[in-house]
Chains A and B, each alone.
Chain A
Amino acid sequence: MIKTGAQILWECLEQQGVTTVFGYPGGAILPAYDALKTSNIHHVLVRHEQGATHMADGYARASGRVGVAVATSGPGATNMVTGIATAMLDSSPIVCITGQVGSKLIGSDAFQETDITGVTLPITKHNYLVTHANQVAETISEAFYVASSGRPGPVLVDITKDAQQSTCDFDGRPITPRLPGYRPELAPTQAEYKEALELIHKAKRPVILAGHGIILSNAMQEVRTFAERNNIPVGLTLLGLGAFPASHPLSLGMMGMHGEAWLNTTIQEADLLIALGMRFDDRVTGNLKTYAPNAKKIHVEIDRAEINKNVKVDVALVGDLRSVLRELLPHVKSQDRHEWLNYIERLKGDSAVRDIQNLPDNGHLYAAHVINDLWRETLGSDTVIVTDVGQHQMWEAQYFKHEQPRTLITSGGLGTMGFALPAAIGVKAARPEAEVWAIVGDGGFQMTMCELATMVQENLKVNIAIINNGYLGMVRQWQEFFYDRNYEATPLLSPNFVKLADAFGIRSVAVTQRSQVVPTVEMTRKHPGPVLIDFQVEQEDSVYPMVAAGAALHEMIRRPNPLEETAADA
């Protein structure tokens, strides 16, 4: 049957199982939008193309399916860049479809022409320029395969206007991608398995470093069996949170710059690190020269290019984590490690005393209280938290205990402010039955708050908790610690968020007292529509512990004695 490139595009997206796309129309993508009427795919009109990419990203991370964003050429496409880079750094499978000027005009600096395949080359897993209808089906099939296989990532498909308009014969049969050079999954050798097993069985002080790869590979059960059988404690990266239950006795919480002090010390004193689907980011290693100096290292990782990139390892098992662990598990012996586990328990020391949760109520509202109360209130329900970037993100990681994978969606690698609200909209679109909360700072919220209108237009109940401290808090914290409290450009004027929400027809309330947190959360959960809560929290609170950039992982800045701090405040 003769069809236009635009018709083939939607049909191929349907074949890939796409039900929702996030986009914004414009001249060069208009033929595709015109053909949308023949498709069952639901189009979510965003307010800014960056929002479309974050929504597709949130959709992908919450569901495990590929998220799709659509934009026009030129500014539409360049607005996607931040969202694409965010997905790249966090291995999130999204496909971005952009319109391009007619193929005859390419290179002429035509109206709204940008070389978007050139621009996105280093921040996509792969990208395509399609110049004729007869390339559309093949390209979409390849794009989805590349985005979702191996180490997932963003793929951009730039389709010229004439490619959307031209026609070709299309029989609707699915096309198998033909990619002779693409090798998404490799497998370790038997010798490498043997070496890894020897290191595991010889180790006296092992620790598992659990990352995002566990969730991407759906290896939660295998990791748990592995840890339990050999009694190995588990530390998690930010994106790993939820990959291993926080309440599990072997769970040590989050590692790294704002990780648990006992876990960072455990890593530094370990004799074996078993890295599962994580990439030794500088935020989890601290100074590489002093990182885990006495530990052998096993790295299980799907991306061969990650091996020995930051940390030199002794054994690398390159492959899909779940397959690798399934191969390994039958040979893993049960081992008693009570001495090591008891030692780690003692490392916790006075951490509980320093915990802000144990402060007597001094009338101040702390972000940690808000997040911990939200966790308690939503405990046991199907709740997904989407955070922005900054202090609130770290407090969420510390005080919201994630038991299940895909319950925390956050921009880890790129640290993209403005991520939370649009990503939360994408999460809700992917999982309408889930309770979705966007936790966001007053700074990040103002970067993408235009998407409130998208949320309302789509009738999606996303609850928004603004952690409002009147500063770009994390930057202020760095200024406090490392720049002599010179708060340059960090005090932040915000609009009246309650009135703002009102303008969008969103119920809203400001909270200033700790006693109001639980009732407000209860009200929010009962309300059928979205609710925005403006939590006006302590302005100069800092995230502890903190490993300063360039410091060794165990050299942490700890929260000052909380009792003294309270006395000073009073």
Chain B
Amino acid sequence: MLNTFVVYVENKPGVLTRVASLFRRRAFNIDSLTVGRTEKREVSRMTIVVDADRDQAMRVEANLYKLVEVLFVENITGKTAISRDLAMIKVSATHEARSHVLELANVFRARVVDVAPESLTIEITGGEDKIDGLLEVLRPYGVLEMVRTGIVAMRRGPKSADLNIPVSAGTNVEPPAPEDNVSYSV
């Protein structure tokens, strides 16, 4: 099954290589990996989606913690979280097809960001399923090019990750997820 990890790392050269190398070396399958800045200058944040069973997911987490520059790891799979993927889809849109494509984009609440005589480029943000859905209905018109960012994810609610909390050594007990004050706004 797909597991989504939020990983805080020190913002130092080579950290991405270390994380990527770990997944390759231990033969864990990365589905997607995104990395970017955070609210703290010295900290970067990764969202990593991995195809792993429960034991493997535990080992992914433990192995990530073995990297000296990894500050905090959270497996947010099954927890209340927002996850978003962004895609730009360049679709063939001849004169006849153009209005159909625009209609579909509207239905998916996607935006047209580029218009050319023979094509439209559509930007869509959402869960992976939603993007897969739009892609599916656009395919018959001819998808010329597509790019996706991969998942970024964040727990719901007011709490932010506390990089100073001690890591649980327990491997037998899943640490209870703090679900208080969760907001469910979309």
Shortest Cβ distance from B95 into chain A, in angstroms? 50
Checking A121, A305, A309 against B66 with a beta-carbon cut-off of 8 angstroms, the contacting residue is A305
Interface residues of A in 301-332 (CB under 8 A from B): 303-305, 307-309, 312, 315-316, 318-319
Known: A121-B21, A305-B66, A309-B59. A180 touches B14 (CB 8 A): no
Nearest-neighbor residue (CB-CB) of B9 within chain A: A181
Instruction: Give the segment of A36-44, A76-84, A184-192, A543-551 that binds chain B.
Output: A184-192
A126 to B69: give the CA distance in the assembly, Å: 9
Which of B17, B166, B170 has the most chain A CB within a 10 Å cutoff?
B170
Nearest-neighbor residue (CB-CB) of A151 within chain B: B66
Q: By the criterion CB–CB under 8 Å, are A186 and B167 in contact?
A: yes
B63 at the interface (CB under 8 A from A): yes
Shortest Cβ distance from A124 into chain B, in angstroms? 10
Q: By the criterion CB–CB under 8 Å, are B171 and A318 in contact?
A: yes
Interface residues of A in 116-169 (CB under 8 A from B): 117-118, 121-122, 125-126, 129, 146
B116 at the interface (CB under 8 A from A): no
Give the number of residues in A that approach B within 8 Å (Cβ atoms). Answer: 31
B58 at the interface (CB under 8 A from A): yes
Known: A179-B68, A181-B9, A183-B65. A312 touches B55 (CB 8 A): yes
23 A-B pairs, CB-CB below 8 angstroms? A117-B14, A118-B17, A121-B17, A126-B67, A126-B68, A181-B68, A181-B69, A183-B166, A186-B167, A188-B169, A192-B170, A195-B172, A303-B62, A305-B62, A305-B63, A305-B66, A308-B58, A312-B55, A315-B172, A316-B172, A318-B169, A318-B170, A318-B171
Shortest Cβ distance from B11 into chain A, in angstroms? 12
A182 at the interface (CB under 8 A from B): yes
A146 to B68: give the CA distance in the assembly, Å: 8
Known: A183-B167, A188-B169, A316-B171. A305 touches B9 (CB 8 A): no
Knowing that A181-B9, A181-B68 touch, tell me 11 more A-B residue pairs with CB under 8 angstroms.
A117-B14, A121-B18, A181-B65, A181-B71, A189-B170, A305-B59, A305-B63, A307-B59, A307-B62, A308-B59, A318-B170
A186 to B62: give the CA distance in the assembly, Å: 12
A316 to B173: give the CA distance in the assembly, Å: 10
A126 to B10: give the CA distance in the assembly, Å: 14
Q: By the criterion CB–CB under 8 Å, are B163 and A304 in contact?
A: no
Checking A117, A182, A305 against B68 with a beta-carbon cut-off of 8 angstroms, the contacting residue is A182
Summed over the interface, the residue pairs from A and B with CB atoms below 8 Å come to a total of 72
Shortest Cβ distance from A196 into chain B, in angstroms? 10
Q: By the criterion CB–CB under 8 Å, are A188 and B170 in contact?
A: yes
Which A residues fall within an 8 A CB radius of B? 117-118, 121-122, 125-126, 129, 146, 179-183, 186-189, 191-192, 195, 303-305, 307-309, 312, 315-316, 318-319
Which of A126, A180, A189, A309 has the most chain B CB within a 10 Å cutoff?
A180
A135 to B171: give the CA distance in the assembly, Å: 37
Nearest-neighbor residue (CB-CB) of B69 within chain A: A181
Shortest Cβ distance from A423 into chain B, in angstroms? 26
Per-residue CB contact flags for chain B residues 1-43 toward chain A (1 = under 8 Å, else 0) read 0000000011001100110010001000000000000000000
B70 at the interface (CB under 8 A from A): yes
Chain B residues contacting A315 (CB-CB under 8 Å) are 172
Chain A residues contacting B171 (CB-CB under 8 Å) are 304, 307-308, 316, 318
Chain B interface size range: 20 to 34
Nearest-neighbor residue (CB-CB) of B71 within chain A: A181
Closest CB pairs A-B (n = 4): A186-B169, A305-B62, A304-B62, A318-B169
Q: By the criterion CB–CB under 8 Å, are B66 and A187 in contact?
A: no
Shortest Cβ distance from B76 into chain A, in angstroms? 19
A303 to B69: give the CA distance in the assembly, Å: 17
Chain B residues contacting A192 (CB-CB under 8 Å) are 170, 172
Which B residues fall within an 8 A CB radius of A? 9-10, 13-14, 17-18, 21, 25, 55, 58-59, 62-63, 65-72, 163, 166-173
A339 to B84: give the CA distance in the assembly, Å: 62
Shortest Cβ distance from A257 into chain B, in angstroms? 24
Chain B residues contacting A189 (CB-CB under 8 Å) are 169-170, 173
Nearest-neighbor residue (CB-CB) of B63 within chain A: A305
Known: A180-B163, A181-B67, A181-B70. A308 touches B55 (CB 8 A): yes
Nearest-neighbor residue (CB-CB) of A314 within chain B: B172
Chain A residues contacting B13 (CB-CB under 8 Å) are 129
Chain A residues contacting B67 (CB-CB under 8 Å) are 126, 181
Which of A187, A304, A315 has the most chain B CB within a 10 Å cutoff?
A304
Q: By the criterion CB–CB under 8 Å, are B169 and A187 in contact?
A: yes
Nearest-neighbor residue (CB-CB) of A306 within chain B: B62
A305 to B171: give the CA distance in the assembly, Å: 10
Nearest-neighbor residue (CB-CB) of A308 within chain B: B55
A235 to B122: give the CA distance in the assembly, Å: 65
A122 to B70: give the CA distance in the assembly, Å: 16
A125 to B67: give the CA distance in the assembly, Å: 8
A186 to B59: give the CA distance in the assembly, Å: 16
Nearest-neighbor residue (CB-CB) of B17 within chain A: A121
Shortest Cβ distance from A384 into chain B, in angstroms? 31
Nearest-neighbor residue (CB-CB) of B56 within chain A: A308
Q: By the criterion CB–CB under 8 Å, are B68 and A319 in contact?
A: no
Chain B residues contacting A303 (CB-CB under 8 Å) are 62, 66
Nearest-neighbor residue (CB-CB) of B167 within chain A: A183
Chain A residues contacting B167 (CB-CB under 8 Å) are 183, 186
Q: By the criterion CB–CB under 8 Å, are B169 and A319 in contact?
A: yes
Chain B residues contacting A181 (CB-CB under 8 Å) are 9-10, 65, 67-72
Nearest-neighbor residue (CB-CB) of B20 within chain A: A121
Shortest Cβ distance from B4 into chain A, in angstroms? 20
Chain A residues contacting B18 (CB-CB under 8 Å) are 121
Chain A residues contacting B169 (CB-CB under 8 Å) are 186-189, 304, 318-319
A210 to B55: give the CA distance in the assembly, Å: 24
Chain B residues contacting A126 (CB-CB under 8 Å) are 67-68
Checking A125, A180, A188, A316 against B10 with a beta-carbon cut-off of 8 angstroms, the contacting residue is A180
A146 to B66: give the CA distance in the assembly, Å: 11
A305 to B63: give the CA distance in the assembly, Å: 5
Shortest Cβ distance from B32 into chain A, in angstroms? 22
A186 to B168: give the CA distance in the assembly, Å: 8
Nearest-neighbor residue (CB-CB) of B72 within chain A: A181
Shortest Cβ distance from A213 into chain B, in angstroms? 15
A117 to B13: give the CA distance in the assembly, Å: 12
Nearest-neighbor residue (CB-CB) of B164 within chain A: A180
Chain A residues contacting B170 (CB-CB under 8 Å) are 188-189, 192, 318
Shortest Cβ distance from A255 into chain B, in angstroms? 24
Shortest Cβ distance from A449 into chain B, in angstroms? 33
Nearest-neighbor residue (CB-CB) of B43 within chain A: A180
A186 to B171: give the CA distance in the assembly, Å: 11
A7 to B87: give the CA distance in the assembly, Å: 54
Nearest-neighbor residue (CB-CB) of A179 within chain B: B68
Shortest Cβ distance from B67 into chain A, in angstroms? 7
